[in-house]
């Protein structure tokens, strides 16, 4: 139960503050593309970032975004005067006592420094937001949504949220239920996540609180490949089959399963793996590859800007993503990299985890194997590596499905309606891949 009644707007009037965990980030291209598309449709956006950027490069889309960025104190001790001034100003507002009680209730159940930091950041945001901003929108249901929620109560504003993957599956149920009862609306990027969150949303919060909005592919950025795919079949040592995987080196991506599967491939099959992505398990994975005797066949490129990733899709023969459910419950939603790879006609092998089967139909638009089944993954890679004709068939079918059902324009139009923009008809003839 919320401590007070605040606005429950279905659309924003005036500028909207987008609260992000960090900005800009190479790993969150989908957020940047969404911001750019909404700006093109007329939404006035102000970006609020809880952290400073750590990536050395940025994507071209970040340069095209017009919105300014305000960085909140990443750690409260780094800017104590700013936090103190904010508290002195906000504590006099009518919503402060109720917002403080709400935060203390959360802190009792989540006694962490991070929970304290969220409230301090909310104080600063509430104090510094211009009066013209009447709506807050958080990307991710965990930390950014908490800051948005506390700020909304402190300043009598409405708020909404986009939920994705880790934020859904690792947040405690009590927190998800209470946020869903408090916000105006929420979008999420897979049917699996939609069904989970819709079951937690209270009926009294109104129908349609949770809506399915796939991220989709910006077809203007990921145009169809004109050059034909190669006929590599792994028989030539000088021209090995090129395998690509893109994703952060974290547990839920299953890169250790991929390395084990590659190590078990027949000695007669010539292949190379290119990995793109950062992540805290990179050194451990390199060590595993060395111990397996395949280190010389793998190129670890780290995080790369979008143009480099696009070039890699076009040069590869097979895309592999070995996603799984991590020990803490974290898992992928519908990985954008799979849609990106398929948009380039690249045959994909993936695991049947979470929302991935919403995109890939096994044997028709790609190949699915059970998560954690390294032997099955090995067999799938070996079979597809030796069969360029099947790769072309699966790649073309996957490309057709992405272009028909996962157009970025169509889904952005659905999101634009949530913000009160008159763009709901969709573009490029795209049709819904699952109305919610």
Question: Residue ranges per domain, the chain?
Answer: 16-212, 241-405
**DSSP state for residue 58 in the 8-state scheme:** -
Q: Which residues 6+ apart lie within 8 Å of 144 measured at CB?
A: 19, 20, 21, 50, 138, 161
User: Within 10 A of 172 (CB to CB), how many other CB atoms are there?
Assistant: 11
Q: What is the pLDDT of residue 208?
A: 78
What element of type H or E holds 319?
strand 318-321
Q: What is the pLDDT of residue 4?
A: 42
List helix spans (H) across 185-254. Answer: 191-200
Structure-token match 């069969």, residue found? 387
Q: Where are the beta strands (DSSP E) in 104-155?
A: 135-139
What are the DSSP calls for 331-368, one per residue? --SS-HHHHHHHHTT-EEEEE--TTGGGT--BTTTBEE
Output the CA torsion sign for 195, 196, 199, 203. negative
Tokens representing 202 are 């209270």
Q: Model's pTM, two decimal places?
A: 0.79
Q: What is the pLDDT of residue 13?
A: 66
Q: Encode pLDDT of 366-384 as tens digits.
A: 999 999 999 999 999 999 9
How far is residue 333's CA from residue 192's CA, in Å, rounded to a whole number?
8
Q: What is the pLDDT of residue 1?
A: 34
Q: Encode pLDDT of 138-184 as tens digits.
A: 999 999 999 999 999 999 999 999 999 889 999 999 999 999 999 99
The CA-atom distances, in angstroms, between 14 and each of 43, 45, 184, 345, 419 are 8, 9, 16, 41, 10
Fold entry, domain 241-405: Rossmann fold (3.40.50)
**DSSP state for residue 407 in the 8-state scheme:** B
The tens-digit pLDDT sequence of the chain (436 residues) is: 333 434 444 444 689 999 999 999 888 888 998 999 999 999 999 999 999 988 888 888 888 999 999 999 999 999 999 999 999 999 999 999 999 999 999 999 999 999 999 999 999 999 999 999 989 999 999 999 999 999 999 999 999 999 998 899 999 999 999 999 999 999 999 999 999 999 999 876 656 799 999 988 888 888 777 778 899 999 999 999 999 999 999 999 999 999 999 999 999 999 999 999 998 999 999 999 999 999 999 999 999 988 999 999 999 999 999 999 999 988 888 898 999 999 999 999 999 998 999 999 999 999 999 999 999 999 999 999 999 999 999 999 999 999 999 988 889 999 999 999 875 444 433 434 333 3
The answer to whether 38 and 187 have CB atoms below 8 angstroms apart is no
The closest alpha carbon to 335, from 208, 220, 250, belongs to 250
**Helix, strand or coil, per DSSP, at residue 242:** strand
Chain center to CA of 230: 31
Fold entry, domain 16-212: Rossmann fold (3.40.50)
Tokens representing 156 are 């009598």
The CA-atom distances, in angstroms, between 425 and each of 186, 213, 219, 404, 411 are 20, 14, 17, 15, 10
The CA-atom distances, in angstroms, between 266 and each of 262, 269, 271, 378, 379 are 9, 6, 10, 9, 10
Fold equal for 16-212 and 241-405: yes
Angle at 212 between CA 206 and CA 216, to 5 degrees: 155
User: Within 10 A of 356 (CB to CB), how many other CB atoms are there?
Assistant: 24
Structure-token match 């993936």, residue found? 350
Q: What is the pLDDT of residue 57?
A: 82
């Amino acid at each position: 139960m919320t401590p007070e009644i605040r606005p429950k707007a279905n659309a924003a009037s005036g500028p909207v503050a987008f609260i992000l965990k960090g900005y800009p980030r190479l790993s969150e291209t989908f957020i940047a593309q969404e911001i750019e598309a909404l700006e093109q449709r007329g939404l006035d956006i102000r970006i609020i970032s809880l952290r400073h950027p750590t990536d050395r490069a940025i994507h071209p889309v970040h340069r095209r975004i017009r919105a300014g960025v305000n960085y909140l104190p990443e750690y409260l001790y780094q800017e104590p005067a700013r936090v103190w001034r904010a508290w002195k100003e906000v504590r006099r507002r009518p919503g402060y006592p109720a917002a403080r009680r709400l935060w203390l209730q959360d802190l009792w159940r989540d006694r962490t420094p991070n929970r304290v930091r969220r409230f301090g950041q909310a104080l600063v945001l509430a104090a510094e937001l211009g009066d013209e901003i009447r709506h807050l929108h958080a990307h991710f249901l965990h930390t950014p949504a908490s800051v948005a929620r506390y700020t909304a109560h402190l300043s009598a504003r409405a708020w909404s949220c986009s939920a994705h993957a880790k934020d859904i599956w690792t947040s405690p149920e009590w927190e998800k239920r209470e946020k869903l009862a408090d916000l105006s609306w929420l979008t999420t990027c897979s049917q699996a996540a939609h069904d989970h969150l819709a079951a937690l949303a209270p009926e009294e919060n109104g129908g349609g609180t949770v809506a399915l909005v796939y991220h989709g592919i910006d077809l203007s950025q990921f145009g169809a490949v004109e050059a034909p795919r190669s006929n590599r079949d792994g028989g030539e040592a000088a021209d090995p089959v090129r395998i690509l995987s893109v994703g952060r080196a974290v547990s839920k991506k299953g890169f250790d399963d991929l390395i084990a599967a590659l190590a078990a491939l027949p000695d007669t099959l010539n292949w190379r793996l290119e990995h793109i992505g950062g992540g805290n398990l990179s050194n451990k994975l390199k060590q595993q590859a060395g111990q397996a005797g395949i280190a010389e066949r793998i190129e670890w490129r780290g995080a790369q800007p979008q143009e480099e990733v696009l070039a890699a899709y076009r040069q590869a023969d097979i895309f592999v993503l070995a996603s799984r459910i991590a020990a803490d419950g974290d898992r992928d939603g519908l990985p954008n990299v799979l849609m990106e790879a398929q948009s380039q006609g690249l045959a994909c092998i993936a695991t049947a985890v979470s929302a991935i089967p919403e995109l890939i139909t096994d044997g028709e638009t790609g190949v699915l194997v059970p998560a954690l089944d390294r032997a099955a993954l090995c067999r799938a890679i070996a079979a597809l590596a030796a069969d360029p004709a099947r790769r072309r068939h699966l790649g073309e079918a996957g490309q057709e499905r992405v272009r028909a059902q996962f157009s970025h324009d169509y889904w952005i139009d659905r999101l634009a309606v949530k913000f009160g923009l008159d763009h709901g008809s969709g573009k490029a003839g795209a049709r819904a891949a699952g109305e919610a």
